[in-house]
Amino acid sequence: MNICQLKHNVKVIRRKAKRVGRGDSSGHGGTSCRGHRGQKARAGYSSRPYFEGGQMPLIRRLPKRGFSNARFRSVVKIINIDDLNRFDNDSVVTLQVLEEKGLVKGVYNSLKILGNGELKKKLTVQAHYFSQVARDKIQKANGLAQTLPVK
């Protein structure tokens, strides 16, 4: 089998590119599928994605009002009591230890311990906030809940 026969047996994966500007008989000659004249018919044309053809853009038509608190919000990370069972007895659970274990990730301002689950070990837990149920469960396990000052 020669190369020509192999070429015909191979399945075509990609469509051939449109050859524009190769004469009127090609169907893509003359204006090369760009219409007649105008900015879009010229080489090097590119428009901004939000350009609306000279019409007043939507972003400029809408009123600029209100206030967003997103810049000033405080991010509180949450951990349940159940997640603290992976620590050893009589250990001190701090923010750094929680980050090393992968329980707390990302940027946050404060940490809150919630009371979902059961605590089976005696721990000293340091956090900015505790729910009342979580504080009770830590004390019931003979542990200590220490409140940190909020930044």
The pLDDT tens digits of the residues spanning 70-120 come to 889 999 999 999 999 999 999 999 999 999 999 999 999 999 999 999 999
| 77 and 125 in a common domain | yes
Whether residues 113 and 87 fall in one domain: yes
Task: Quick: pLDDT tens for 78-89.
Answer: 999 999 999 999
Question: Which structural domain, as residue segments, surrounds residue 90?
Answer: 71-147
Q: Check pLDDT > 80 for residue 6.
A: no
Q: Does 58 share its domain with 93?
A: no
Can you give the pLDDT at residue 10?
63
Say if residue 46 is in the same domain as residue 80.
no
In a domain, 43, yes or no: yes
Shared-domain flag, residues 87 and 130: yes
Domain count, the chain: 2
Exposed e or buried b for every residue in 71-80, given b needs 16+ CB within 10 A? Answer: eeeeeebebe
Residues 95 and 137 in one domain: yes
Contact 126, 92 (CB under 8 A): yes
In a domain? residue 136: yes
- On whether residue 129 sits in a domain, the answer given is yes
Note whether 61 and 76 are same-domain residues: no
Which strands sit side by side in the sheet containing 76-80, from one edge to the other?
A: 76-80, 110-114, 129-130
Question: d(Cα 126, Cα 112) in Å, to the nearest integer?
Answer: 10
80 and 110 in one domain?
yes
Instruction: State mean pLDDT over 137-146.
Output: 95
Same domain membership, residue 50 and residue 94: no
- Specify which residues 76 forms β-bridges with: 110
What percentage of the chain reaches a pLDDT higher than 90?
Answer: 72
Element holding 95 (H helix, E strand):
helix 95-101
